[in-house]
Amino acid sequence: MTQDKGAGQRMTGLQATGQQATGQRTKGQQTPTAQQAAAGRNLWLHFTRMSSQASGQVPVIVRGSGPYVFDASGKRYLDGLSGLFVSQIGHGRKEVAEAGARQGSELAYFPLWSYAHPRAIELAQRLAELAPGDLNRVFFTTSGSEAVESAWKLAKQYFKATGEPGRYKVISRDIAYHGTSMGALAITGLPAIKEPFEPLPPGGVRVPNTNFYRAPEFVADDLTAFGRWAADEIERAILREGPESVAAVFLEPVQNSGGCFPPPPGYFARVREICDRYGVLLVSDEVICAFGRLGYYFGAQRYGYQPDIITFAKGVTSGYAPLGGMLARERLMEPFEEGAATFLHGITFAGHPVSCAIALANLDVFEKEDLLGNVRAHEAGFRATLEKLGDLPIVGDVRGDGYFYGIELVKDKATRQTFDDDESERLLRGFLSPALFEAGLICRADDRGDPVIQLSPPLTCTQEHFDEMEQILRSVLTQAWSKL
Ligand SMILES: Cc1ncc(COP(=O)(O)O)c(C=O)c1O
């Protein structure tokens, strides 16, 4: 049933600069510290070639302050990726950490299985107030993958409870990343990270994404027509699969993987229309895009559409503790409100009291410092600063919205020719990742689609930080070009 195709085949994993930054030890590199050596022996890094750790040179980040982090030797790095799209308020906020500590001494743990606790109640109420429309029901998880998994399970059980038991399929976009648990992976559109785990749960169906830079020729000159075509591909997929078998469409407001694809004008309005026509749920996967990344609490608010479910994680706590969840519309809970009906799903640590207390303190910072206002005030400057890089021969496209950008690298700007696997390997892993990290910028060189550099800085950043990013990128990308 899964219909992944094309792009993304060559990718080997997530790659934040730093993770692969110290592949082979070269002349001049220091011997590993005791901690690095211990990491080499015992710590299994995620989505990381462990062969690259053989030299025991894993970067060890020990502390953070504002948009900067520091390694064990005291060297400073601009955190241009907010860790992993997480640290919205920046690092080192004592008041947020202390909110967690206070909660820990008051009530460190109690489950949300049959019980509630004050912080989960307060946070659910606050999120429902912030979310668009009647997304009033909050189901907590501990992570984004669990949020996506929960949304699919809810869609399936909801349709079974409402007399449409045949609806189980999920539509998502090529190269989109929706998480790593088996269900979330079935929704993910990256063949290379799925293949080792096949067979995955059946029902994942792929449609084109909104990468206008790589649009098919017949709509390549018209963004609105491209958006209409991409949305209509969802309708075609629903019809092909049989509407009575399709439960939900999972879309990010701005697709991360592949390098920040914003929705063309009219795209989401059209998708909403299509979902309504065929009774399919629209899930806005906002694990990255919620909590200010796009200048709004939720990406759906920026682009003006009403999802049936929003999945979230990451920025809800700015990473001071793990938390995720889904916000569901009232009607999705109705079948579970009578008699013995129960959503048969739960997670021990979901809605952990410490995480909820931290999320509340995180949202207090958003309000006190008007972080949404900061993003809206400075996003044009961020875009303009990154667009300056367009004069480099290796920069093909700069795209994104808010504080969320991808820079696509090309071999030939005129033809938009991309790099072959070998060049991509040499350029991204061999040179760019370590060079950007060395130069003091944490960002992501990613080749899950065509090669891109991704930036997603803390929402507190202003022009001085954009300039710092631009200067480092300019210098390193210029060197990269000379090495091709
Ligand atoms: C859109 C989206 N969904 C889901 C996930 C999975 O989240 P987690 O890594 O917290 O499981 C991610 C992670 O980056 C994501 O970007």
**Strand, helix or coil at 72?**
coil
* pLDDT given for residue 37 in this prediction: 92
Q: Is the pLDDT of residue 23 over 60?
A: no
The mean pLDDT value for 342-367 works out to 98
Q: Is the pLDDT of residue 1 over 60?
A: no
Backbone angles phi, psi at 11, to 5 degrees: -65, 150
The mean pLDDT value for 331-359 works out to 97
The CA distance from 279 to 378, in Å, is: 39
* Residue corresponding to tokens 């991409």: 230
Tell me how many degrees the CA angle 261-263-266 measures, rounded to the nearest 5. Answer: 165
Average pLDDT score, the chain: 93
The protein residue whose alpha carbon is closest to atom 9 in ligand 1 is 144
Using pLDDT thresholds of 50, 70 and 90, give the confidence band for residue 119: very high
Whole-Å CA distances, 34 to 56, 69, 71, 195, 418: 9, 21, 14, 36, 41
Contact status, residue 406 vs residue 396, Cβ threshold 8 Å: no
Helix (H) or strand (E) holding 257: none
How far does residue 218's CA lie from ligand 1's centre (Å)?
33
The CA distance from 19 to 177, in Å, is: 19
The CA distance from 287 to 310, in Å, is: 9
- What are 153-167's pLDDT values in tens digits? 999 999 999 999 999
The protein residue whose alpha carbon is closest to atom 13 in ligand 1 is 179
How far does residue 27's CA lie from ligand 1's centre (Å)?
38
* Residue corresponding to tokens 């648990």: 181
**Strand, helix or coil at 476?**
helix
* pLDDT given for residue 102 in this prediction: 98
User: Quick one: which of 422, 420, 389, 419 has its CA closest to 406?
Assistant: 389
How far does residue 9's CA lie from ligand 1's centre (Å)?
20
Whole-Å CA distances, 154 to 1, 112, 466: 20, 17, 41
* Residue corresponding to tokens 């229309």: 273
* pLDDT given for residue 449 in this prediction: 83
Strand-pair partners of 248: 170, 281
The protein residue whose alpha carbon is closest to atom 3 in ligand 1 is 178
Using pLDDT thresholds of 50, 70 and 90, give the confidence band for residue 8: very low
Contact status, residue 4 vs residue 205, Cβ threshold 8 Å: no
The mean pLDDT value for 140-150 works out to 98
Using pLDDT thresholds of 50, 70 and 90, give the confidence band for residue 24: very low
How far does residue 378's CA lie from ligand 1's centre (Å)?
26
Q: Which residues contact 395 (CB under 8 A, 6 or more apart)?
A: 389, 407, 408, 409, 410, 413, 477
The CA distance from 415 to 420, in Å, is: 14
User: Quick one: which of 236, 219, 235 has its CA closest to 227?
Assistant: 219
* pLDDT given for residue 446 in this prediction: 85
* pLDDT given for residue 9 in this prediction: 40
**Ligand 1 pocket: which of 288, 317, 446 to mutate (most atoms within 8 A of CB):** 288
How far does residue 85's CA lie from ligand 1's centre (Å)?
9
Read off the amino acid at residue 151: A
The mean pLDDT value for 14-37 works out to 59
How far does residue 145's CA lie from ligand 1's centre (Å)?
5
- What are 155-212's pLDDT values in tens digits? 999 999 999 999 999 999 999 999 999 999 999 999 999 999 999 999 999 999 999 9
Contact status, residue 170 vs residue 184, Cβ threshold 8 Å: no
**Ligand 1 pocket: which of 152, 187, 286, 287 to mutate (most atoms within 8 A of CB):** 287
How far does residue 325's CA lie from ligand 1's centre (Å)?
11
Contact status, residue 284 vs residue 254, Cβ threshold 8 Å: no
- What are 213-254's pLDDT values in tens digits? 999 999 999 999 999 999 999 999 999 999 999 999 999 999
The protein residue whose alpha carbon is closest to atom 4 in ligand 1 is 178
* pLDDT given for residue 344 in this prediction: 97
Using pLDDT thresholds of 50, 70 and 90, give the confidence band for residue 29: low
Q: In ligand 1, which atom is closest to the CA atom of 286?
A: 1
Helix (H) or strand (E) holding 136: none
Q: Which residues contact 409 (CB under 8 A, 6 or more apart)?
A: 394, 395, 396, 419, 427, 450, 451, 452, 453, 477, 480
Ligand 1 surroundings by CB, under 6 angstroms:
143-145, 148, 177-179, 252, 256, 285, 287-288, 313, 324
How far does residue 385's CA lie from ligand 1's centre (Å)?
28
Read off the amino acid at residue 432: L
Q: Which residues contact 39 (CB under 8 A, 6 or more apart)?
A: 53, 56, 58, 60
Read off the amino acid at residue 221: D
- What are 274-314's pLDDT values in tens digits? 999 999 999 999 999 999 999 999 999 999 999 999 999 99
The CA distance from 484 to 69, in Å, is: 31
Q: In ligand 1, which atom is closest to the CA atom of 314?
A: 10
How far does residue 222's CA lie from ligand 1's centre (Å)?
31
Q: Which residues contact 165 (CB under 8 A, 6 or more apart)?
A: 159
The CA distance from 259 to 210, in Å, is: 11
The CA distance from 444 to 428, in Å, is: 9
Tell me how many degrees the CA angle 188-189-194 measures, rounded to the nearest 5. Answer: 70
- What are 84-116's pLDDT values in tens digits? 999 999 999 999 999 999 999 999 999 999 999
For residues 347 and 22, the model is more confident at 347
